[in-house]
Amino acid sequence: IETLISFSGYFNVSIDTLLRVDISKLSESQIGELERGYDAYIRGSNLRVLATTVNSSNRENIELVNEKAKAGYATGYADPEYISELPVFWLPFLSENRKYRTFQLKGDSMLPIPDGSWVTGEFLQDWSTIVSGKAYIVFTLDDGIVFKVVENHIKDDGKLVLYSLNPLYEPYEVHINNVKEIWKFVNYISSELPDPLIPEKQLLQTVAGMKHDLQRLKARLGIEIIDVQEEK
């Protein structure tokens, strides 16, 4: 017991973690979390053991979950065999000390990010660090994989509120007990350019220019022009 206590104090790892978690099954990034002082039991949450893959240099891959693979992810997300069958790649500008995964976006709820984009996220171990107003990939068994802007209410009532960038979609709540994984948005890859957002001032100038051109056209055609003053 004394040895265990000494080991716990030296490495800043709780005795619960030492007794309940098989450290040999942790990925390199999860071991790095422990080395940096993160301990799930000290913080009051379970350490989430993530199934992952590495390349020949023992560097963690970025697994790619396309639209077809999403259905299997609901049952295979914790299965190392399933994860090992996913396509993998890596991005040289991302940290080697973090775990990333890429998911294919489906639908128009996050426009202007185009449908079919590949969204990469960093695995988030400590959900209390979720920053309200930031984008995350949230995986639940009920809703599957969704990419949303998140509002963090975990401390208050154990819930997250998920918002779409597209205002046509209503926000909704998910209880943290139903969440299996959360990935912090890092970047996205798309073969399409997002639709440009025209500033209001530029839009008004464009409308005024079109009105002027229309008036000139009417004058050339000999059509009487009636100016209508809009109430302000």
Least confident of 2-6, 19-23, 85-89, 149-153: 19-23
The predicted pLDDT at position 198 comes to 60
Name which of 21-35, 62-76, 166-180, 212-226 the model is least confident about.
21-35
Q: Is the pLDDT assigned to residue 41 strictly greater than 50?
A: no
How far are the Cα atoms of 149, 211, 222, 225, 231 from residue 228, in angstroms, in the given order?
43, 12, 18, 9, 9
- What are the tokens at 126? 């400590």
pLDDT at res. 218: 74
Residue with the two structure tokens 């988030």? 124
Q: What is the mean pLDDT of residues 190-208?
A: 72
Set out the domains of the chain in order of their start, with CATH numbers: 2-189 (2.10.109.10)
Q: What is residue 66's predicted lDDT score, i.e. its pLDDT?
A: 94
- Give this prediction's pTM: 0.68
pLDDT above 60 (res 185): yes
User: How confident is the model at residue 40, as a pLDDT?
Assistant: 52
Q: Number of H helices and number of E strands within the chain?
A: 7, 9
What is the Cα–Cα distance from 91 to 189, expressed in whole angstroms?
Answer: 11
Q: How far is CA 188 from CA 117, 169, 191, 192, 216, in A?
A: 7, 21, 10, 11, 46
For 101-136, how does the pLDDT look when each residue is reduced to its tens digit (9 = 90+)? 999 999 999 988 999 999 999 999 888 899 999 999
Q: Assess whether pLDDT exceeds 80 at residue 76.
A: yes
Average pLDDT in the chain: 81
Within 8 A by CB and 6+ apart from 87, the residues are 63, 64, 66
CB-based contacts of 149: which residues, under 8 Å, 6+ apart?
A: 133, 134, 135, 136, 162, 163, 164, 165
Mean pLDDT, range 146-160, rounded to an integer: 93
Which DSSP helix (H) or strand (E) runs through 135? strand 134-140
Please state the rounded mean pLDDT for residues 30-34: 64
- Retrieve residue 31's tokens: 């071991």
Q: What is the rounded CA–CA span in Å between residue 161 and residue 154?
A: 10
φ/ψ (deg, to 5) at 35? -65, -30
Confidence of residue 28 (pLDDT cuts 50, 70, 90): low
- Looking at residue 48, its pLDDT comes to 60
d(Cα 184, Cα 139) in Å, to the nearest integer?
Answer: 12
Averaged pLDDT, 35-44: 50
Arithmetic mean of pLDDT, 140-159:
92
Give the pLDDT of residue 29: 62
Q: Is the pLDDT of residue 225 over 50?
A: no
Query: pLDDT band at 43, cuts 50/70/90?
Result: very low
**Residue pair 48/181 in contact by the 8 Å Cβ criterion:** yes
Q: Does 72 score more than 60 pLDDT?
A: yes
Say if residue 212's pLDDT is above 90: no
